[in-house]
Amino acid sequence: MDLKTATALRRLRLVSAPEAISFLLLLVCSVLKRTTDFNAVPVMGAVHGGLFVLYVIFWADAWNRAKWSLKTAALYFVLSVLPTGGFFAERKLRREAEDAVIATRARKEGVVGA
């Protein structure tokens, strides 16, 4: 994995958890708006919208650089629109990065089949 691909995947991983948190907070704010006088939906909507746009931009970059299959790209996009999906995306991306580091080290050390 080259540096630009690793960077694209890292950016996607780093924005996925905050995007998921903002989605959950937006849902809480929506409920509070309907049940109380508290209305933070405009603020949280803007925050979540900005993070979602970043996620989609970083997702497209990662898809292009990592040469994901359509199935993998679709999975990461679907995870972005589920309330807790960003947490699963972050975990999966972290594991893929760790596996790539292990494979790179194994190739450098000459381990067969890595």
> Can you give the pLDDT of all 114 residues of the chain as single tens digits?
778 888 999 999 999 999 999 999 999 999 999 999 999 999 999 999 999 999 999 999 999 999 999 999 999 999 999 989 999 999 999 998 888 888 888 888 877 555
Map residue 57 onto helix, strand or coil: helix
Q: Are 5 and 65 in contact (CB under 8 A)?
A: yes
What is the residue whose two structure tokens read 């991983």?
13
What is the value of pTM for the model shown?
Answer: 0.85
